[in-house]
Amino acid sequence: MAPLDDAKPVATPDEEGTAASGGGRFLKAIYVYEVPVRVWHWVNALAITVLSVTGYLIANPLPSMPGEASANFLMGYIRFVHFAAAYIFAIGFIGRLYWAFAGNHHARQLFRFPFWDRHWWGELFLEARWYLFLERKPKLYVGHNPLAQFAMFWAIAVGSVFMIVTGFALYSEGAGLGSWQDRLFGWVIPLFGQSMDVHTWHHMGMWAILLFVIVHIYAAVREDIMSRQSIISTMISGVRTFKDAEAPADEEHERPAKKAAPVG
């Protein structure tokens, strides 16, 4: 994560920045998430919603429809919507992976897991204590806090790869032998044992991602209310707004920021 002086401050005439107590510096808002990251976030959220609903219906089909089978194509439409959303999900993930290299340092955080960083682990457990109401005051972070980064890496980065691989493996059965889906992902089915095993793991992956989504929404709303930094609005505007002037923990850890003169 880049030092504070590399970030892009955003302020209105009434929000020039407030002086930090005793520190002689100020901080009001920082541009964090670029447009491609924000667009991917909401498109991905919509794709996950569509995939989850249609995937559930595929695993638990609706009751039989009246009339001749030739006059009904409900499950066919459901499968088509599922496959279309899957392609959007997969292409979006590839685009997001590209932007991790082309975008700013915050765009790479989704794919980073600093396993050997003792300080990062310490911050993660401190953040976990905050979410468990064992800490009275949270730390400020310009990007994802360590606990959010941990969850995003495993649920979204690793989870997306798992769902794409197993999903296209199942799709290859319908696409047929020799199709590009079969050539790229056909090996997955014998690896798991049989087709039904892949179906089961793919379905379990859906529930794991949905569990993450529930916790993610709860945490975002909770942080907007209880912490001193914006969360939900940041993924709309790209700007992280701080409600006081303390230094973000992730910026201070990497390199001390340049001091700015106190306002007034």
Is 177 a member of any domain?
yes
pLDDT in the model for residue 13: 33
pLDDT in the model for residue 22: 42
Is 104 a member of any domain?
yes
pLDDT tens for the 264 residues of the chain, in order: 333 333 333 343 333 344 444 444 456 789 999 999 999 999 999 999 999 999 999 999 888 777 776 778 889 999 999 999 999 999 999 999 999 999 999 999 999 999 999 999 999 999 999 999 999 888 889 999 999 999 999 999 999 999 999 999 999 999 999 999 999 999 999 999 999 999 999 999 999 999 999 999 999 999 988 987 899 999 999 999 887 656 677 764 444 444 444 444
pLDDT in the model for residue 67: 77
Is 189 a member of any domain?
yes
Range of the domain at 57: 36-63+72-229
pLDDT in the model for residue 243: 78
Is 253 a member of any domain?
no
pLDDT in the model for residue 216: 97
204's CB contacts (< 8 A; 6+ apart) are none
Q: Which of 89, 205, 96, 91 is nearest to 155 (CA)?
A: 205
* Residue given tokens 């510096």 in the structure block: 25
* Number of neighbouring beta carbons within 10 Å of residue 77: 11
Is 181 a member of any domain?
yes
* Number of neighbouring beta carbons within 10 Å of residue 238: 18
**SS3 (DSSP) at 8:** strand
Q: How many residues does the chain have?
A: 264
pLDDT in the model for residue 255: 47
156's CB contacts (< 8 A; 6+ apart) are 110, 209, 212
Is 156 a member of any domain?
yes
pLDDT in the model for residue 247: 66
pLDDT in the model for residue 68: 76
Q: Which of 229, 259, 253 is nearest to 241 (CA)?
A: 229
Q: Which of 156, 34, 151, 152 is nearest to 89 (CA)?
A: 156
List the alpha helices (DSSP H) in the chain.
35-59, 74-102, 118-131, 146-152, 159-175, 180-185, 188-192, 195-226, 234-237, 249-254
Asked if 257 and 3 count as a contact pair (C-beta separation under 8 A), the reply is yes
Sheet holding 239-241, edge to edge: 8-9, 29-31, 239-241
Please state the domain count of the chain: 1
CATH of the domain at 80: 1.20.950.20
Is 258 a member of any domain?
no
Give the C-alpha separation, 245 to 16, whole Å.
12
Is 11 a member of any domain?
no
